[in-house]
Structure 1
């Protein structure tokens, strides 16, 4: 079994180096999106909504990495709901409702400014330093490495959404996808489990990302633990994934069945049937 070739600190440094170019490319997609009222692949969202959300996300995650995200500013928007996806949905709806009709015009500048702020913040912080993120839970801060990964994820996926809406070319680079998985997924997977689906499941699964990290996922009913590059041990199912396929599937941008049929997600081991089951336990917001 392959192990990741890099440490978490090295992946964070690689993310910091990748942010400026990725942000610039995304800003240009926004500048060329055309009709702001164009219907997008995201239900209920038009092109302008995606752009505004992306600008806010880049600004917020950069502020979080710098330790400047004020939880009190979000108190009225973040509901006390146990489900992360529900909390994020409410925050998204509230921020979009408050946005001015022409707010999308400022988004390219927000993306570039957020990228510059993130790069500066990451120079001062280690990968495990905690960052409070109100919509993830006031008492459950994320490490700064995960915040950097979320910045990459928001940027690459919403640029994809806008590109699909406006007929522009955009792909998810495998190296960016590998960084998103390495930096973010070990932290977000346990927070996004659907308790009802996991209630009666007990399994040890290892997800091997091509050219990157291995994530151990131990499911004990609704209690899920993850481990970055776990040591050898009893494993019920090994899942081998292409990084971009993993990110696109986890975010709902492509179907699990399509990626399995294309050979981009392969399950092996004592209980290979667990692969699709595990994939459906989580709802990444």
Structure 2
């Protein structure tokens, strides 16, 4: 699959964000826990912070200094949530919709091939938009699960989030950014990832580093065929791998398929 274009991701966001805003407006007053210690409205506030940061990136504004790892981003997110006390679902929905409009307008005017993102990484605007899409899909699902509300995910949107957001971010960031330093330190493996409806990516884990390759898939430990939304959920730890396997949404084969368990222990997305 060719790289996602900015127009494709913007179109996806114009479909996803209004549904996400409607989801937020229906969060009950009880404000249930959604993920970790975050309530549904904590997640909603976090989403507005993501949109603001990514809009600032497109605008060329200075971004917070942070190391893009799971611990580094956890600290930044905690700081932003502490500074932002708004937790009224309807007001957060309005804020999200307004920021999404601003982001889309900024993206439409963007003439730069790349922009400065967190940790000084240079990203194409399409990847910044892909990051917004990924966050909206994942955290919309967190809110829906907590509240019992509906949050259907289109496969093409999930594929754009993975191939247009997550995978380019892995390539752009330092090779340890998406890993658990302790658990990945001795792990070595090569996986042929085949996203259904999309392309193939070679994931190379080598003692504390994760790199992606697109050439011939040689010396492969395991091949993995996955529905993109199922892959997202497993990769970020929202779902155990056996559930999509039993549902036919993921399958693995090769010389050492058991190494997939080591991969899931090694990864720690920011």
CA gap 1:222/1:193 in 2 versus in 1, 3 angstroms? same
TM-score by length of structure 1 reads 0.83
What's the offset of the Cα at 1:103? 5.6
**Preserved contact between residue 195 and residue 221 of structure 1 (Cα < 8 Å):** no
| CA drift at 1:16 | 1.3
SS in structure 2 at match of 1:157: helix
| Alignment-derived partner of residue 86 in structure 1 | 71
CA contact (8 A) 1:131 1:144 kept: no
Partner Cα separation in structure 2 for residue 47 and residue 142 of structure 1: 30
In structure 2, do the counterparts of structure 1 residues 252 and 203 end up closer, same or farther at CA, with 3 Å as the change threshold? closer
The total of aligned residue pairs comes to 265
Determine the C-alpha separation between the residues in 1 that align with 2:111 and 2:201: 21
Superposition map of 1:1-285 within 5 A: 4=1, 7-10=2-5, 12-35=6-29, 37-68=30-61, 70-71=62-63, 74-75=64-65, 78=66, 84-102=69-87, 104-125=89-110, 129-133=114-118, 137=119, 139-189=120-170, 190=175, 191-227=177-213, 229-285=214-270
Deviations along 1:73-109, one digit per CA (max 9) or x if unpaired, are x35xx4xxx6711111111111111122456443222
Contact conserved, 1:59 with 1:110, CA < 8 A, in 2? no
TM-score by length of 2: 0.87
The answer to whether the 8 A contact 1:245-1:265 is kept is yes
* Partners of 2:116 and 2:122 within 8 A in 1: yes
Alignment check: 8 A CA contact 1:58 1:155 kept: no
Unaligned runs of 5+ in 1: none
Aligned to 1:8, the other structure's residue is in SS state coil
Deviation string for 1:177-226 (max 9, x for gaps)? Answer: 10111012223444211232222233322111000122211222112211
Instruction: Please identify runs of 4+ aligned residues in structure 1 that moved more than 6 A.
Output: none
When structure 1 is superposed on structure 2, of 187-196 and 207-216 the one drifting more is 187-196
Say if 1:54 and 1:107, in contact at 8 Å, map to a contact too. Answer: no
